[in-house]
Structure 1
Amino acid sequence: MKNKGKSLGKGIDALFQELEEVDVKKDEVLELSLNELRPNPYQPRKTFDEVSLQELANSIEQSGVFQPIIVRKSAVKGYEIIAGERRFRASKLAQRETIPAIIRDFDEEAMMQVAVLENLQREDLNPLEEAEAYDMLMKNLKLTQAEVAERLGKSRPYIANYLRLLSLPQLVKEMMQDERLSMGQARTLLGLKNKEQILKLANRCVKENLTVRQLEQLVSTMNESKDKKKVPRIVKEKPYYLRESEDRLMDKFGTSVEIQEKEGKGKIEIEYLSQSDLTRILDILDIHFDEA
């Protein structure tokens, strides 16, 4: 977790300092039974690489666990893991009975933030897991997208881009989990005005191994066809400066943006998915309305 001071939000530095600074002279390292431990209930990571986990298990089998895991006492029974679930899982694979651990006093809010941040800093989450982690923070801590962004040291559009992935059809999400679809392709699919076409186009994307740019052209063609009620046709590719402008606006607003130009004039269309999404975009534009 390098350079965390530059990348994490307010209050998070102190949280991680408390989590990471292990002083064997001050901290009591206990050997806890693996049967007494359970994973962090807010752990966003759903999948663990089996090969690397087995490699870690082999190392533990030979040399033991060098770095203690961090736990807290459970309100129900035993202990909950704050950090070190891979070491815990690998120790079970290595058929060990105990693991070195340090007990820390963390509340629910800190548990949630650490669960997300530990994985983000180590780049352990796939895009959907990351989106679900942000959604969990918003729901459980009653935070806005802006507040999540501030706490995690991200931009609001960055958080919004990930959250939009949760609106994809379940089968498309599975394509992302299996790495058949990239995040860039998934974001492009969300630009379809007819949401019922997303799954069909996702299947075509996988079957034909379409690039993001090829997919963007198809989405643009299908949207134009929907507007004009005619058969999709291949459209002339937009000039580079327009495509680059669309990309930058999409990053800023965290949603699909289309620029249409004719004879030096044109219009910009910004998509929103709900009333709250519209409010978010207006907030980015610093447009506010007085309450009645």
Structure 2
Amino acid sequence: MAKATKKQALGRGLSALLKDPTNDISSVQDKNADKVIGNIVDLDIEAIEINPFQPRTNFNEETLRELASSIKELGVIQPITVRKLDFNKYQLVSGERRFRASKLIGLETIPAYIRIANDQESLEMALVENIQRQDLDPIEIALSYQRLIDEINLTQEQMSERVGKKRSTIANYLRLLKLDPIIQTGMRDGFISMGHGRAIINIEDQNQQLDIYEQIISKKLSVRDTEALVRAFQNGGHAPKASAKRQEEDLPKFIKKGAKEFSEYFGHKINVKVNNKGKGNITIPFHSEEDFNRIIKLVKSAK
């Protein structure tokens, strides 16, 4: 216990050092930089801003509350990492779940490692560290890899070295981004697995991808069943629900456009039927009580 108290006292001492405006530390060459950079310092939570490069976008509320409860009992065991921006101003590099959970229980300070890096270094550190340590969903991981390619100009070979993953593994994640956005949403929400997505991606036409996706959900198909369904389509050359697809193609252009927007908003393929008088109905499918409640929230938020 005495050891922990000493560590906390050290953190508070360094924190006071960082609040001295006459000796502000902004580079590794500054006085006392070696005492701060890379060390654990107790920082004011309000002095830290969220990293805009953070690849994680979904935070499970229940697990966040569980982490908050653990932090309340045990403290922040693993410090967050921040980048110094200005005097008493920092940006989160990694540890956003710990940061959010600490704010949730009203902590005023949080232990942090301090780094000084430019934006590109910060982006790479955030993406690589999150890919390695955070339980990102497959689409978030794929987006992180894509950002490393687009914004850091890394090749797949270089990424393989940075994140410690095989090049083929990285390629499999990147291929998921070719899936229809509705299917990507379904994967992020846990309705299908990465295995399902890898099977569907063998179908290039996104309308046909959606037909297969709906069958996976409605029939609760396993990955193996999905692979068999895809093979059957490829061998026979006929898309599942071909008649429904033809009906969709016959819809007026404005309805097809609106149905697509509905589908992207609700995260499911929305079915629209229209008679020859221009009247029709819209069907919004749901796959569980949780999914139904999610759709209700989306409807309410659109008011």
Normalising by structure 2, report the TM-score: 0.61
Unaligned runs of 5+ in 1: 1-22, 232-292
Q: Which structure has the greater CA radius of gyration?
A: 2
Q: Classify the secondary structure of the residue corresponding to 2:237.
A: helix
Equivalent residue, structure 1, for 2:199 = 188
Equivalent residue, structure 1, for 2:141 = 130
Amino acid paired to 1:85: E
Does the 8 A contact of 2:36 with 2:114 survive in 1?
A: no
Q: Which one has a larger percent helix, Structure 1 or Structure 2?
A: 2
Cα deviations across residues 195-220 of structure 1 (Å, max 9, x unaligned)?
Answer: 32001110111110112222222212
Match among 97, 113, 131 for residue 102 of structure 1? 113
Match among 143, 151, 154 for residue 165 of structure 2? 154
Does the 8 A contact of 1:38 with 1:81 survive in 2?
A: yes
Matched, 1:216 2:227: yes
User: CA, structure 1 residues 57+193, in 2 after alignment: closer, same or farther (shift >3 Å)?
Assistant: closer
Match among 93, 113, 131 for residue 82 of structure 1? 93
**d(CA) in 2 for partners of 1:38, 1:96:** 15
Does the 8 A contact of 2:41 with 2:113 survive in 1?
A: yes
Q: Give how far 1:193 is off.
A: 4.5
Q: Classify the secondary structure of the residue corresponding to 1:81.
A: strand
Normalising by structure 1, report the TM-score: 0.63
Matched, 1:205 2:226: no
Equivalent residue, structure 1, for 2:189 = 178
Greater RCO, 1 or 2 (C-alpha within 8 Å, sep 6+) = 1
Matched, 1:141 2:152: yes
User: CA, structure 1 residues 24+90, in 2 after alignment: closer, same or farther (shift >3 Å)?
Assistant: farther
Matched, 1:61 2:59: no
**Identity among equivalent pairs (%):** 41
Unaligned runs of 5+ in 2: 1-33, 243-303
Match among 60, 63, 76 for residue 52 of structure 1? 63
RMSD: 3.0
**d(CA) in 2 for partners of 1:213, 1:220:** 11
**d(CA) in 1 for partners of 2:152, 2:134:** 23
Match among 110, 114, 137 for residue 125 of structure 2? 114
**d(CA) in 1 for partners of 2:160, 2:181:** 26
Amino acid paired to 1:132: L
Cα deviations across residues 229-252 of structure 1 (Å, max 9, x unaligned)?
Answer: xx9xxxxxxxxxxxxxxxxxxxxx
Does the 8 A contact of 2:54 with 2:127 survive in 1?
A: yes
